[in-house]
Amino acid sequence: MNPEYQTRLEFLKSKPIDGQALKKLVEAGLVWLKANQATVNALNVFPVPDGDTGTNMVLTMQAAYSEIIEMGSRHIGQMAHAVSQGALMGARGNSGVILSQIWRGFARALHDAVVLDGPGMAKAFAEARDTAYKGVVRPVEGTILTVIKDVATAAKTALEATRDPYEILERIVPAADISVQHTPELLPVLKQAGVVDSGGKGLFFILEGMLRYVHGESLDTAPATVQPMALMNLENSLSAIEPGQDYEIVVDFKPAQVLDLQKFYSGLEEMGTSIQVGEGDGLYRMHIHVSTENRYLPIDYVMSMGTITKVAMENLLAQMDEINRASRRERIELTPIEPGQVAVVAVSPGPGISRVFASLGVAALVEGGQTMNPSTQEILKAFENLPTDQVIILPNNKNIILAAQAAKEVTVKNVHIVPSRTIPQGLAAMMHLNLDGDIAQIANKMNRALEEVITGEITVATRTVEIDGVSVEKDQVIALLNGKLVFSTNKIEAAVLGMLEKASATDYELITLFFGQDLPASEANRIADLVRAAYPSLEIELQDGGQPHYQFIISVE
């Protein structure tokens, strides 16, 4: 055993795991997860731009840590409770909500404990497992649930050999790693896509970060890795701009000799943050966020490594200002609500779609959708100050349903969740709103309406994969039908028409095309005319949805 590690471990074991020690472990888990955020994001089954599991888990852990950062309590139960509360309010996406439930169970088991010993740790992980499973209506094996289950089993087994919590941590981290690697054997879609479960991997990194802290190992930098350029997730650059991240620099280059990746990373770390390196066919892509005064340093640095083929520089602060100005220009009139009336809260990914929801009577809107899942706190904030206690939430995305349910659990208001998984489902549900009706009856009608509409989505593949018999190349246009990959092609119009054929659109009456923010209106109109020509007996509507990432969201009813 490394002498330095031995000395550090003896020092840690000389002190109990109290509230302050747990704070250090939570911080370590957060920092290591953040260092590996891009790796978790890349583990996306479908080749669509929603690889945000790592981001959601980081934001959830960030909220948990923010809740305890100023706490001086040494009571482990009090500290664990605060971690749980912070994680719950900051939970984003399914992975973040399940992670918050893991912390909830962990805290529940330690409610009366002053310090954490080995048996207490095993009990806490067992309760974390049980709470996480109970929080999901239909638990699926091969996910983060399986990993926490295997961690709980490993913790219980470890008690046969030791009652020391640090030694138990030593045993559960390898168990978590093995569990993650086994997830494709339990969930066929993971095996098809050639990835492990992203949520489970995120949980592993949290636990590994805690162990690395105990070992005294580096936490702020993940081991230098190269991703395939197809998996580099640069879509969310604007979602989390921190101080000093004024410019985004992306450089494609061919190194003059074999690239010493670790040395390359170390050099970049002195210049900025959000570092990613991708590789494809001998060409490397470097991505970094830097301050204004450092904006040329990465370019000069890469030039010393070889031949630069392309440089992209974006002023992130200017982009954020433009986004904020555009947001201020969008004035959407929401439905005023009187005490006792039914208020609907809808999650919407774009201003055009928001206007449609507003016209149908929603009382509050929450910005969110693919790659931008709102937190429990954001959903709660949308309706807590409304002058009524009768609230219906339309998540309109499968990754937001659990966060909506979490918001329901922490309010005294009478909240019903209508589990809409798509925008068309949410709009169909809104057709049954009656502000002065009985909320239970309205929610039931809305639930039934979810099955009355078909959803199509057109986007661009983020990587090469074959799923459900559909072969996809990176950057191809793909079509999803009710969430299932059904078509790939090189043209948007072919994807739209292919999806509609798969949907047997001739059997329906109305097709509504919501075009996204990156598709020019003239192009959207041209494609809508093609749809009208292909389906002359159907009513075809074209709406400016304004959603990111998806060229079209299509409703067939």
pLDDT, tens only, 71-81? 999 999 999 99
Segment 301-326, tens digit of pLDDT: 999 989 998 888 877 766 555 545 45
Look at strands 510-515 and 550-556 and give their pairing.
antiparallel
Q: How far is CA 424 from the centre of its chain?
A: 21
Residue whose token pair is 């960030």: 62
Domain with CATH 3.30.1180 in the chain: 454-556
Mean pLDDT on 360-364 = 94
The answer for residues whose C-beta is within 8 angstroms of residue 252's C-beta and 6 or more apart is 283, 284, 285, 308, 309, 310, 311
Which range (74-88, 291-305, 404-418) has the least confidence?
291-305
As annotated, the residues of the chain forming the CATH 3.40.50.510 domain(s) are 330-452
**Tokens coding 98:** 């399940």
Which residues have CB under 8 Å from 245's CB, separation 6+?
272, 273, 274, 289, 290, 291, 316
CATH fold of 330-452 reads: Rossmann fold (3.40.50)
Statement: residue 227 has pLDDT above 60: no
pTM of the model: 0.74
Contact status, residue 399 vs residue 375, Cβ threshold 8 Å: no
Of the candidates 487, 494, 492, 530, the one whose C-alpha atom is nearest the C-alpha of residue 511 is 530
Class of domain 3-215: mainly alpha
The pLDDT mean for the chain works out to 87
- The architecture that CATH gives domain 227-316 is 2-Layer Sandwich (3.30)
**Tens digit of each residue's pLDDT (9 = 90 or more) over 141-177:** 999 999 999 999 999 999 999 999 999 999 999 999 9
Q: List the beta strands (DSSP E) in 169-208.
A: none
Tokens 């590994």: give the residue: 208
Adjacent-strand bridge partners of 470: 467
Closest CA to 460 of 543, 333, 349, 551: 551
Structurally, what CATH architecture does the domain formed by 454-556 represent?
A: 2-Layer Sandwich (3.30)
Range with the lowest mean pLDDT among 209-218, 242-251, 339-348, 410-419?
242-251
What's the pLDDT score for residue 330?
56
pLDDT tens for each residue of 435-485: 999 999 999 999 999 999 999 999 998 888 888 888 888 889 999 999 899
- Mean pLDDT over residues 370-388, rounded? 89
The boundaries of every CATH 3.30.70.260 domain in the chain are 227-316
